Structure 1
Amino acid sequence: MEPIRILYFSDVLCIWAYIAQIRLDELKATFQDKITIEPHFVPVFGTAREKLENRWQDRGGLQGYADHIQEVAKKFDHINVHPDVWTKVTPPSSTSCHLFLHAIQLVATKGLVERDTLEKATWAFREAFFTQLANVSDRKVQFEISEELKLPIAAIETQIHSGEAYAQLSKDFELVKEHTVTVSPTLIFNEGRQKLNGNVGYRVIEANIRELLHNPPGEQSWC
């Protein structure tokens, strides 16, 4: 049986995706080669400051959103969030970061770094923002994080300058439209027929996977 393909959409600046990483790790440990998690990016914070100021204008603006993030973070012991996140440093856009991460993914695909480097880099970018207030939309900061991870900067730049990383980012935009993804994180199973949005508990995700394992697409199921 082919492994179950899971499309996983997230935004690097999303607190819920930061929280959800532990669930992805558990899924991989539990199901191993029975699933493949395919990472994609959705630009929830494509225009971060403008979006937050507009959507939170009646609830304290950017400061109101920052306070909300602190309240959310208190409920989860496995993450750390700096008390000044989103207020002291407000990245203009997550899109720059997503582009850079796609360049890292291409470098991994070409065998220049380990295959799980994208996942490690994505976590490093999230952690840098939420715990160190790093402006991860800034290319200098992206280089600094890459150097800490001992990644080949020149090779990453080549993927951006050649246009290949932009092509991968464009594919994400197309998939976002195709599957009407508006929330980070979003998991899509069963060729788009099943979708889990936002802060979904691990047991719910696990149940969806086990149902697909026991009732593969195309087979009859009583439910």
Structure 2
Amino acid sequence: MEPIRIFYFSDVLCIWAYIAHIRLDELKTTFQDQIAIEPHFVSVFGTAHEKLENGWRDRGGLQGYSNHIQEVAKKFDHITVHPDIWANFTPHSSTSCHLFLHAIQLLEAKGLVDQSQQVFEKATWAFREAFFTQLANVSDRKVQFQIAEELRLPIAGIQAQIDSGEAYAQLSKDFELVKEHTVTVSPTLIFNEGRQRLNGNVGYRVIEANIRELLHNPPGEQSWC
């Protein structure tokens, strides 16, 4: 039986994607080769300054958004966030992060790094953690290279994927898929050839139930529920 293909869209700067990362790990452990999670990016924070200044102008501005993120984080024991998150520093764009991570993903796909080390997944988590716990300016290329160096990734190889245009092509593919599937929320899981989707802060058991329903129904047979 072919594995269930799952498109997973997220934004590196999204608190809900930061929270949901552990759920993806659990899915991979539980279902292993029964599912194939295909990561993509949706630039919810593509223009972070403008988004927050406009969206939170009447709700306390950046400090109001920071307070909101702090309240959200208190509900989840597996993450921590810096007390000044978003208030004292706002990255310009998550798109820069997504481009850089796609370059790392290409290195992994081409076998230019040890594929068993899951470097793309580790790098994505490192970017999220650096921002949310250290207020690192992950939209800045110098910081991106610093994180890559800490992960012992080949800087020249990453730069080559960007310079060649291949990383941009992967990012462009994300844009096309976001448009095709009308993705507006981070994170979003799309499966069953686009017929099912789960948006935002969806609990692990809900995701698991959807996957088990697909696994237990014969191909082409729709569930009565």
* Same fold (TM > 0.5): yes
CA apart distance, 1:127: 0.1
Q: Secondary structure at the match of 2:193?
A: helix
Identity value in percent: 85
Query: TM-score, structure 1 length as denominator?
Result: 0.98
- 1:179 is aligned to 181
Would you identify which runs of 4 or more consecutive aligned residues in structure 1 move more than 3 Å? 220-223
- 1:208 is aligned to 210
Distance in 1, Cα, partners of 2:78 & 2:71 = 14
Aligned partner letter, 1:100: F
Q: Which digits, 9 at most, give the CA deviation of each residue in 1:144-202, with x for residues without a partner? A: 00000000000000000000000000000000000000000000010100000000000
- Which residue of 121, 124, 142 corresponds with 2:123? 121
Asked if 2 retains the 8 angstrom alpha-carbon contact of 1:190 and 1:217, the reply is: no
Query: TM-score, structure 2 length as denominator?
Result: 0.97
- 2:168 is aligned to 166
- 1:68 is aligned to 68
CA apart distance, 1:113: 1.3
Q: Secondary structure at the match of 1:195?
A: strand
- 2:17 is aligned to 17
- 1:80 is aligned to 80
Q: Secondary structure at the match of 1:86?
A: coil
Distance in 1, Cα, partners of 2:218 & 2:61 = 47
Asked if 2 retains the 8 angstrom alpha-carbon contact of 1:41 and 1:172, the reply is: yes
Distance in 2, Cα, partners of 1:59 & 1:134 = 25
How many residues align? The count is 223
Asked if 1 retains the 8 angstrom alpha-carbon contact of 2:4 and 2:35, the reply is: yes
- 1:151 is aligned to 153
- Which residue of 197, 200, 213 corresponds with 1:198? 200
CA apart distance, 1:220: 4.9
Distance in 1, Cα, partners of 2:182 & 2:9 = 11
Name the stretch that deviates more: 108-117 or 128-137: 108-117
Q: 1:38 to 1:74 in 2, by over 3 A?
A: same
Asked if 2 retains the 8 angstrom alpha-carbon contact of 1:82 and 1:130, the reply is: yes
The yes-or-no answer on 1:30 pairing with 2:22 is: no
Instruction: Show structure 2 runs of 5+ residues with no match.
Output: none
